[in-house]
Amino acid sequence: MKKIVVFTGAGISAESGIKTFRDSNGLWEEFKIEDVATWKGWNKDRSKVIDFYNSCRRQLKNVQPNDAHKALAKLEEKYKVVVITQNVDDLHERGGSTNILHLHGELTKARSTMDPSLVYDIGYEDIKIGDKCDRGSQLRPHIVWFGEAVPMMEVASNMISDADIIIVVGTSMQVYPAANLIEYVSSNAEIYFIDPNAINNLNRKIKTIREKAGIAVPELVNVLLKNA
């Protein structure tokens, strides 16, 4: 059974109605990065940080996986599939995919400020000041903030290194360190890049599909399933 690794970014979730961070009218135009996505912001005003992610979590509760999420799950019928995502939502899970690695954390989880290994499933519930881990430390969003290490990068690079097919969806592949993952792809792997604004400057032979994920992903999945 061939192995497919799917690498997804904000574009795939945007089609479900989730506001992106970097695009025009994105979240970073409304909020300062340093206020809600850094340790400095957390130490300065924990309530502001918690409120920001609580708001994101409430929005997530009210959106649904789109045709791209659902189509990717169908690949598991005939392929070994790993989804590596930069997104912190749970739309891949709700779309039916079963093997998902979140590089930047998960909105539906909280973790200890003191001990990063203490992670709790909170679903779509708010985090409140005074909510503490088992060791008595305030819970924080289970999100990788700017300036923090991306702990799952080594795992992701190992996952991608032996893939037969790579599908990149809804990301510019310009944001590091995640963009480095392409360097671990086998020279024999087929690579598909799906994004309306896709620019291939990765010095690799890539099949570029400049279309929205909700249209292009189901079409590609149908082809791959037929050829399996």
What is the reported pLDDT for 28? 46
CATH code for the domain defined by 1-17+65-104+150-228: 3.40.50.1220
Six token digits for residue 154: 């080594």
Confidence (pLDDT) at 178: 59
Report the chain (228 residues): mean pLDDT per 10 consecutive residues.
95 88 52 89 96 93 97 98 96 98 97 97 98 98 94 93 95 68 88 85 79 97 96
- Cβ neighbors of 81 (< 8 A, separation 6 or more) are 3, 4, 5, 6, 72, 75, 97, 99
For the chain, domain boundaries:
1-17+65-104+150-228, 19-62+105-143
Select from 4, 8, 127 the least CA-distant residue to 66.
8
> Catalytic residue at 104?
yes
**Neighbouring-strand partners of residue 29:** none
From the list 69, 92, 104, 142, the catalytic residue is 104
Q: How many CB atoms lie within 10 A of CB 69?
A: 27
CATH of region 19-62+105-143: 3.30.1600.10
DSSP per position, 121-145? E-TTPPP-TT-B-TTSPBEEEEE--
